[in-house]
Amino acid sequence: MAKNEMPLWEVFIRPRNGLAHKHCGSVHAADEEMAIQAARDVYTRRGEGTSIWVVLSSAITASDPEHKDENFEPALSKVYRHPTFYKIPDDVGHM
């Protein structure tokens, strides 16, 4: 089978109303309708979802793993960006 006849699609499932669609895997399919069907058959067999998004994997631009040091390391040393210095009153409970 020629590669371009069954491109790869990334699948996003929303488990419940009010939650965001979450990436859960990928499927091969000829077009978007078949990709939705394949996603339904592969990823919602146990009642995982109420909504499905698919997007061509080739439409996703990813960060370069080689750039991970300059991309992400600078954030690690800036603890003051985390709101960990506030005192939470007991009455607020779990946040």
Partner 1 sequence: MAAQANIDRSTLVTFLLRLADDHLILGHRLSEWCGHAPMLEEDLAMPNMALDLIGQARALYQYAAEAEGEGRSEDDLAYLRRERDYLNCLMVERENGDFAHTMLRQLYFAAFMQPFWAGAVRSADATLAAIAGKAVKEVAYHVRHAGEWVVRLGDGTEESRRRMEQAIEALAPYVDEMFETDPVSEAIAEAGIAPDPASLREAFDRTVGTIFAEAGLEFQPVQFGQTGGRQGRHGEAMGYLLAELQHMQRTYPGAVW
Residue ranges in contact with partner 1 by CB under 8 A: 6, 27-31, 33-34, 37-38, 40-42, 45
- Residue placing its CB nearer to partner 1 in the complex, 33 or 88: 33
What is the residue whose two structure tokens read 């790869």? 8
Under a CB-based contact definition with an 8 Å cutoff, are residues 58 and 9 in contact?
Answer: no
Cβ at position 26, least distance to partner 1 in Å = 10
Cβ at position 60, least distance to partner 1 in Å = 19
- Residue placing its CB nearer to partner 1 in the complex, 25 or 75: 25
- Residue placing its CB nearer to partner 1 in the complex, 35 or 71: 35
For residue 21, the Cα-to-chain-centroid distance in whole angstroms is 7
Q: Which two tokens stand for residue 15?
A: 């488990």
User: Which run of H or E residues covers position 69?
Assistant: helix 68-76
Cβ at position 5, least distance to partner 1 in Å = 8
Q: Which two tokens stand for residue 33?
A: 């309708």
